[in-house]
Amino acid sequence: MKKRIYRGYQAGNANPKRKNLLLRIMLVTLLSMLMGIGGLLFLSYNQKEVADNYSNSIDCNYSNVKYINTVSRSLYRHQALIYQYMSAAAEGKKREEIREITDSLEAVIEDSLEKLNESVMETAYEPYYHSIYSGYKSYLKNIGYVFYFSDKGDTATAGYYMETALQSYIEKVNQSVEELSTMIAEDMDAAEQLMSRRINFARQSSVLFIILLAAFSLITMIYCSRIFDSLVNKDALTQVDNYEKLQKDSTRLIKHGRWEEYVGVSCNIKDFNYFNQQLGDKTGDMVLIRYAASIAGFLQKGEKIARNGGDNFILLVRQERIPELLAYLQNMEISVDTPEGMKKLTIYSRCGLYQIREQDSLREVVNACCLALADTRMNGAPDHVWYDRAMHDRMVERKEILVQCRKALQEREFVVYYQPKVNIAVDTLCGAEALVRWNRDGQVVGPGQFVPVLEEEGYITELDFYVFEQVCRDIRNWLERGIRPVRISSNFSKLHLRDQAFAAKVLEIVRRYQIDSRYLEIELTESSGYEDFKALVAFVDEMGRHGIYTSIDDFGTGYSSLSLLKNLNVNVVKLDKSFIEDIENADEAHEKMVENVVRMINDLHREVICEGVENRIQADFLRTVNCQQVQGYLYDRPLPHEVFESRLKHPVYGG
Ligand code: C2E
Ligand code: MG
Ligand code: MG
């Protein structure tokens, strides 16, 4: 399976900023929903309350008016009957009838008064009720006298009481009835006005609410569209455009015929891993944010920047501004907040450039400038490289190699060569390194042709295990045939360190072929990253626990340093051939340096072996500085299996 190669810290998709945005969208939506529901509830409650209050007060006053009217009507009738009663003094039968009617009228009045009493109790109308009631009672009392004297035939006294009842008490009742009616009428007016005010208020607040809701929805829409824009068009970490947005912009530029005015630039931060590993991922993120912002600040209207994963950015910059851009990118100062406070960092960039042509698609532009960028990583290459056609051809060739290598792995076209290691104190074979070769149509192809490609594409791990298994198979075969093997070292790419099961896989093969661990050694190169280094330490320790030797290959190149040996329990240090390459012309200082390196490794109780020994001068020098093991063409080139087997049988040199 293809493994992704680590190319700098990749900001994860589950970026906290993106989560924040989503949270904000949810919050805004929730808020507008709550506001809508709250507003509607408030309005409907308000309307209902106003209507209920109004109808209650109308109902109540309507009844009051009805009672008063009944009282007033019945009283008029009552008075009229009293007149009749008096004038009909002679007609006994008629009087009886009138008394019956007045009794029933009194009952009606009593009943209405009682109902009125209930209705106005503890209200502002109550005093009027009492006044009506007491007036009415006094009236009745006097009317009682009217009946009495009238029945006795004393019309004069009856007339007197009649008058008294009518003048003082009925007037009092009528006045109170009138006042109460007026007051009720006024109150009903007031209630009506209040009602219409309330309705107006409710109407106005509805309009206001709708306006507010519309404004809020508009703001929400603008806000959401910004968030949406940020989610869809912006890179979550750096907030510069993402590739999709660049795609849209490029389509526009092509449409307006302005495409070829631009140069495609793919740039990234030199040694970005260093920031992540030395200052932490958070600071690494901050570096990316500031770097992107700084470039965005440099760009002019119409020029573009988009993040292309990790620390890679794609720029579209006008041709005439390229020299200015390169000067700007050459060294850029940015400030970042680190746990130890603000830090000023100098950022160096690499960039690949491509002059856009009318017929190019954005994908082609990006591919071309990324290919040019890849070339800046080659030894001795400048920090900015313009694309040329040869790069494309090389890329095609690499892809071809990759396809063929994968097929070759399946068809077992890879063979293992063994390069002897020699103890120069006694000129005897003391070990060997397994080196892969590709038997391609009868031609032996060296690893330089394919190992870097496989490493770049992540397929090297398969090949390493293929070689290691072949080594174990060969050792088992020699043992079974009574040939005494030597310790054989196999190369493992540092990509394995990302595989948690690396050690387990190695041990499984060792067990399967039942190889004594003293015949095995694993060569690893030093790695730059801290995480890798931790994994390296763990792997070396695990191998140590099983008695399998480990070695640091190509020591003295790349990132290796002596201090690393303090924390890394490798058994062997393999000095790179560059230490002795030019030893015959080297000055004393260089010789001293090699001598001290060897001494220090010996003092740390590690074995030391020097690679690439091609002549006697180098071998003699190494002998004098106490480096006893060597590997190189002076003794043997990497040998095919059978040739090496005869070496195993005759392990002494020079004899
Ligand atoms: P390396 O592991 O440093 O292997 C030593 C390289 O130096 C070998 O090159 C060897 O042929 C070469 N060499 C030995 N003596 C001399 C000498 O006296 N002079 C000069 N100029 N060179 C000498 P080779 O076989 O071409 O391998 C190149 C590199 O390919 C290896 O460097 C190793 O890094 C890689 N490689 C080889 N096989 C494997 C493998 O199975 N897995 C992995 N991951 N890498 C491998
Ligand atoms: Mg090696
Ligand atoms: Mg080496």
- Tens of pLDDT, residues 392-448: 998 898 889 999 999 999 999 999 999 999 999 999 999 999 999 999 989 999 999
Among the listed residues 401, 404, 400, 318, the one whose alpha carbon sits nearest the alpha carbon of residue 353: 318
Whether residue 552 contacts residue 526, with contact meaning beta carbons closer than 8 Å, is answered with: yes
Which tokens belong to 311?
A: 């620390």
Question: Could you tell me if 52 and 189 lie in one domain?
Answer: yes
Orientation of helix 126-152 relative to helix 171-233, angle to 10°:
160
What pLDDT is stored for residue 14 in this prediction? 42
Instruction: Look up the CATH number of the domain holding residue 212.
Output: 1.20.1330
Cα(493) to ligand 2 centroid in Å equals 10
**4-18, 175-189, 513-527, range with greatest mean pLDDT:** 513-527
Ligand 1 atom with minimal separation from the 436 CA? 38
Ligand 1 atom with minimal separation from the 523 CA? 2
Coil vs helix vs strand at 515: coil
Grade residue 2 by pLDDT with cuts at 50, 70 and 90: very low
Ligand 1 atom with minimal separation from the 633 CA? 18
Q: Among 355, 387, 419, where does a domain finish? A: 387
What pLDDT is stored for residue 510 in this prediction? 98
Task: Confirm whether 633 is domain-assigned.
Answer: yes
Question: At 474, which amino acid appears?
Answer: D
Cα(491) to ligand 2 centroid in Å equals 5
Q: Among 356, 387, 418, where does a domain finish? A: 387
Cα(606) to ligand 2 centroid in Å equals 17
> CA-CA distance, 52 to 153, in Å (whole number)?
58
Name the pTM for this structure.
0.60
Ligand 1 atom with minimal separation from the 638 CA? 11
Question: Could you tell me if 55 and 201 lie in one domain?
Answer: yes
pLDDT at 511 over 90: yes
Question: Could you tell me if 520 and 644 lie in one domain?
Answer: yes
> CA-CA distance, 382 to 368, in Å (whole number)?
17
Question: Could you tell me if 365 and 449 lie in one domain?
Answer: no
pLDDT at 129 over 50: yes
> CA-CA distance, 649 to 355, in Å (whole number)?
62
Ligand 1: residue whose CA is nearest its atom 20: 612
How many of the other CB atoms lie within 10 Å of CB of 592? 12
Ligand 1 atom with minimal separation from the 574 CA? 3
How many of the other CB atoms lie within 10 Å of CB of 623? 13
Task: Confirm whether 226 is domain-assigned.
Answer: no
Whether residue 10 contacts residue 309, with contact meaning beta carbons closer than 8 Å, is answered with: yes
Q: What is the largest CA-CA distance in the chain?
A: 178
Give the distance, in angstroms, between the CA of residue 456 and the centroid of all CA atoms in the same chain. 30
> CA-CA distance, 383 to 377, in Å (whole number)?
8
Coil vs helix vs strand at 411: coil
Question: Could you tell me if 466 and 614 lie in one domain?
Answer: yes
Cα(552) to ligand 3 centroid in Å equals 9
Question: Could you tell me if 424 and 541 lie in one domain?
Answer: yes
Ligand 1 atom with minimal separation from the 417 CA? 25
Grade residue 94 by pLDDT with cuts at 50, 70 and 90: confident
Grade residue 15 by pLDDT with cuts at 50, 70 and 90: low
Cα(407) to ligand 2 centroid in Å equals 24
* Average pLDDT estimate for 541-560: 90
Cα(375) to ligand 3 centroid in Å equals 24
pLDDT > 70 fraction of the chain, expressed in percent and rounded: 95
> CA-CA distance, 449 to 401, in Å (whole number)?
8
Q: Provide the sign of the torsion angle of the four alpha carbons 283, 287, 290, 293, taken in this order.
A: negative
How many of the other CB atoms lie within 10 Å of CB of 532? 19
Instruction: Look up the CATH number of the domain holding residue 587.
Output: 3.20.20.450
Strands 262-269 and 349-355 come out as antiparallel
Q: State the average pLDDT for the chain.
A: 88
> CA-CA distance, 626 to 608, in Å (whole number)?
9
Grade residue 558 by pLDDT with cuts at 50, 70 and 90: low
- H helix runs in 121-260, sequence order: 126-152, 155-164, 171-233, 243-255
Grade residue 9 by pLDDT with cuts at 50, 70 and 90: very low
Question: Could you tell me if 379 and 401 lie in one domain?
Answer: no
> CA-CA distance, 618 to 620, in Å (whole number)?
5
Q: How many CA atoms lie within 13 A of 108 on its CB side?
A: 19
**Kind and range of the H or E run holding 422:** strand 414-423
Task: Confirm whether 2 is domain-assigned.
Answer: no
Cα(98) to ligand 1 centroid in Å equals 141
CB-count burial class (<10 Å; 0-12, 13-18, 19+) for 54: middle
Angle 271-458-528 from CA coordinates, rounded to 5°: 30
The residues facing 491 across adjacent strands are 523
**51-55, 89-93, 603-607, range with greatest mean pLDDT:** 603-607
Which ligand has the shortest distance to the CA of 637?
A: 1
Strands 313-318 and 304-307 come out as antiparallel
Domain that holds residue 516: 397-648
Ligand 1 atom with minimal separation from the 634 CA? 18
Tell me which of 416, 435, 474 to substitute to probe ligand 1's pocket, judged by most ligand atoms within 8 Å of the beta carbon: 435
> CA-CA distance, 362 to 264, in Å (whole number)?
9
Question: Could you tell me if 540 and 485 lie in one domain?
Answer: yes
Among the listed residues 561, 631, 640, the one whose alpha carbon sits nearest the alpha carbon of residue 601: 561
> CA-CA distance, 61 to 188, in Å (whole number)?
7
Cα(461) to ligand 2 centroid in Å equals 15
Phi, psi of 127 (to 5 degrees): -55, -35
**Range 45-48, long-range pairs (CB < 8 A, 24+ positions):** 46/198, 46/201, 46/202, 46/205, 47/199, 47/202
Question: Could you tell me if 455 and 586 lie in one domain?
Answer: yes
Ligand 1: residue whose CA is nearest its atom 7: 612
318-347 exposure pattern, b = at least 16 Cβ within 10 A, e = fewer: beebbeebbebbeebebebebeeeeeebeb
Which ligand has the shortest distance to the CA of 614?
A: 1
Coil vs helix vs strand at 645: helix
pLDDT at 620 over 60: yes
> CA-CA distance, 457 to 100, in Å (whole number)?
121
Cα(343) to ligand 1 centroid in Å equals 42
Ligand 1: residue whose CA is nearest its atom 15: 632
* Average pLDDT estimate for 204-229: 78
Question: Could you tell me if 30 and 115 lie in one domain?
Answer: yes
Instruction: Look up the CATH number of the domain holding residue 339.
Output: 3.30.70.270
Question: Could you tell me if 631 and 509 lie in one domain?
Answer: yes
Number of domains the chain contains:
3
Rounded to a whole number of angstroms, the CA Rg of the chain reads 53
Cα(575) to ligand 1 centroid in Å equals 13
- H helix runs in 384-459, sequence order: 389-410, 451-457
pLDDT at 537 over 80: yes
Grade residue 18 by pLDDT with cuts at 50, 70 and 90: low
Task: Confirm whether 613 is domain-assigned.
Answer: yes
Which ligand has the shortest distance to the CA of 451?
A: 1
* Average pLDDT estimate for 443-470: 93
Question: Could you tell me if 419 and 340 lie in one domain?
Answer: no
Phi-psi label, residue 150: left if phi above 0, alpha if psi -120 to 50, beta otherwise:
alpha
What pLDDT is stored for residue 226 in this prediction? 78
Whether residue 619 contacts residue 424, with contact meaning beta carbons closer than 8 Å, is answered with: yes
Length of the chain measured in residues:
655
Angle 464-465-470 from CA coordinates, rounded to 5°: 100
> CA-CA distance, 233 to 243, in Å (whole number)?
8
The residues facing 524 across adjacent strands are 552
Grade residue 10 by pLDDT with cuts at 50, 70 and 90: very low
Task: Confirm whether 231 is domain-assigned.
Answer: no
What pLDDT is stored for residue 6 in this prediction? 30
Cα(597) to ligand 1 centroid in Å equals 22
Ligand 1: residue whose CA is nearest its atom 17: 612
Tell me which of 578, 611, 637 to substitute to probe ligand 1's pocket, judged by most ligand atoms within 8 Å of the beta carbon: 611
Ligand 1: residue whose CA is nearest its atom 22: 612
Task: Confirm whether 238 is domain-assigned.
Answer: no
Which ligand has the shortest distance to the CA of 435?
A: 1
How many of the other CB atoms lie within 10 Å of CB of 313? 26
What pLDDT is stored for residue 314 in this prediction? 97
Ligand 1: residue whose CA is nearest its atom 30: 447
What pLDDT is stored for residue 12 in this prediction? 38
Angle 314-316-318 from CA coordinates, rounded to 5°: 150
Task: Confirm whether 5 is domain-assigned.
Answer: no
pLDDT at 474 over 80: yes
Question: E-assigned strands of 473-628?
Answer: 488-491, 520-525, 549-555, 572-575, 607-611
Tell me which of 491, 493, 506 to substitute to probe ligand 1's pocket, judged by most ligand atoms within 8 Å of the beta carbon: 491
Cα(631) to ligand 2 centroid in Å equals 10
Grade residue 17 by pLDDT with cuts at 50, 70 and 90: low
Ligand 1: residue whose CA is nearest its atom 13: 612
CB-count burial class (<10 Å; 0-12, 13-18, 19+) for 272: buried
Ligand 1 atom with minimal separation from the 455 CA? 44
Q: Among 184, 218, 252, where does a domain finish? A: 218
Ligand 1 residue neighbourhood (C-beta within 6 Å):
419, 435-436, 446-448, 451, 460, 464, 467, 491-493, 523, 553-554, 577, 611-614, 631-633, 638
Ligand 1: residue whose CA is nearest its atom 8: 435
Ligand 1: residue whose CA is nearest its atom 10: 638
What pLDDT is stored for residue 83 in this prediction? 84
Grade residue 150 by pLDDT with cuts at 50, 70 and 90: confident
Task: Confirm whether 178 is domain-assigned.
Answer: yes
